[in-house]
Structure 1
Amino acid sequence: MKFDLNALPTDTARATLAGRLMLADGPVPVLVRDGVVYDVSRVAPTSADWFDLPDPAALTGERLCDVAELTIGGGTFELLAPIDLQCVKACGVTFAVSALERVIEERARGDADQAAAIRGDLEGKIGGGIRSVVPGSEEAAKLKAALIEAGMWSQYLEVAIGPDAEVFTKAPVLSSLGWGADLGFRSDSTWNNPEPEVVLVVNAAGKVVGATLGNDVNLRDFEGRSALLLGKAKDNNAACAIGPFVRLFDDGFGIDDVRNAELDLVIDGPEGYRLEGHSSMNQISRDPLDLVRQTLSEHQYPDGFVLFLGTLFAPVQDRDEPGRGFTHKVGDTVRIHSPALGTLTNRMTTSKQAAPWTFGIRHLYRTMAARDAAVRI
């Protein structure tokens, strides 16, 4: 399948984009500028090396092809997720709406049939409160005390308005998929949804060097039954998408553009179902750089990391039976769009049916060693 040029940022002529391609001798990091793809592996053999450079946006390379020649699912220039050795981290409950939905999942014990009735009750009782306070502030502490007294407290409200953000590991290194790949949800899940998010790219020094789009596929039934099932709800085969490219920070794009990003979500189902949603980053309850700081506070990432910033989107539109809300079906097409970052498109299947993850860290280094040996000869 050919890469869709409409997936590029709307101002692509001004953008400095970082990606990865699978070539005949293995994956390479590539620069995309003005519609041309350049191999930068001679200078930066991995994207982690690239993002550690003093000015990643200034890197140049050897011309490979035009963007129009990129493919997915095979071909000479196959597009991959734009990261390699970075840890994949994610933040949850960073928007008031997502906080309410997590509490709903918890109170419904992961049962979608119970969600609608609980939703209306909770919105009226605590929705305004969590929207009006700064997490970790004195006002947030007072709200917490009032909610505890009223028997309304939840572990999800703790990370929504308390001093500590929720930060978890989403996926293993090299397991993320890129634009056009089939994503998976667990075959035994009956209540799940996409989570369209902005993803920050952070280098080994803790510096944010760019941003991209991500789909943090979530299982509402698993996490709703118990927060201890978060690993099963989040980390499954083919359950993490990132791309299509990382937009590197430069004179025309920076952290303020992330803070003000607008995201649109469209889901088209095989039966003709359509769902549309919108998310505004200016409604996030914690600043993106504070989330980076909390991720780094007691940990180091020598190969850098990427950080999903959370989502405002929580689908409640009924798909089949009234009151059951939304859940994925095999064959759904999910499009996440933000003008400055482009469009991330994936089709949904189950984690069992999705292509198995086979290319790991050892495989990457074997291909790099073979390529290096060939160059020396």
Structure 2
Amino acid sequence: MSMRTLPLVFINLGGEMLYILDQRLKARQHTTEDDSDKGVWSENDRKRVMTDIIGTMFSKPFMDELLKPQQLYSHRTMKTVLTRLAHASVVRLNLASMDRLYELIIMAFKYQVFLCPRPKDLLLISYNHMDTIRAFVADTPAVGNQVDETQRRIIDVYSSLSEGEFQLLRQTLLIFFQDMHVRVSLFLKSHAQNPNGRFAMATSGPVPHGTDVPGLIRTFDSKGREVRRRVFPTEGHYTSPIREGCFDLHGDRVIRLGLNMYSVNHLEETQTSKTPSAKTDDAPNLMAKEELNLLARLMGSMAAENTAKAERSFRINLFTTDEDEEAGTSGGAQQSLYEVINIQAMQDEQAATELAQIAGQFPSEEDTDTGNPSSSSKGDDLLAMMDDL
């Protein structure tokens, strides 16, 4: 496992998340004044949200901690860090939105990794993300300087790695992605993804820079002289690379990895769905979130949010599933599908103390998932640092 994978994962997933937030916030600007639930959203509000998130994401103390050699986080910890990052602004995402958002950015980054002709091209994905992020804060030079400084540090850290270390980094990423097979409408319509959620990789196109087109076997003698050549047929149609870079010929269009694929309004094409083999219950549990929040309060593991900050924040729906969830909680036919259980939510100090003592005797849930206590503590440190920022 590579100890240098976490910074690239965070920057690329964070960049994909910023792409989606920017697109959804731009779509929100078309809301009319009559829509009292959503309100009017201005361009200045969108820029302020993006500036707050990017400023937190590329802050120097946070990047100092992130760039230290450490193991890659689990999906649960990474989702928690990205959720806290999105909430660094006035934006608030519900659980369903964050789950779909995380699935979408994971699959987008996974596809970009698959398209890399060579492991070193992973850096080009990160550079493309940072170039687009820099454009988001073009009107805020201070935050733009933070992005520039982070890119310089990324170049210093990764430019000295060998080809073998980049290969190990790529293998670590593939292990991180191997159980994620979420179907994305945009990929399905472009035939980049199969109905089972796996990507369809082409066997044709340009080979990586510095390599030869396959189909030739050369034999050398003990003195290094070529003595024989043999040609064998290949299944694909390979061509020499045009220039050094991270490009992939997909059909009749050229995709540059890491660029914003949400720049065109594809509201209906950026939805995710589980693979047919995954047996999941899509029906929302209306009381589950409140029950978990209550239990967390009783155990003393969740502090109350600042009231003033909560009043300034707003909730944004990223996907149509959120509207369905709201319709279900508002009443109507959905109410007949669930048995409502009333829970006495009064605070009992004695019960809270006893539950906290019991909870302290068990290992944390994150340690149980990853089997890596140091990874969990590192994640907690980054979350605390993000809260301070």
Length-normalised TM-score, structure 2 = 0.24
Choose between structure 1 and 2: higher strand proportion.
1
Length-normalised TM-score, structure 1 = 0.25
Bigger-Rg structure (1/2): 2
Choose between structure 1 and 2: higher helix proportion.
2
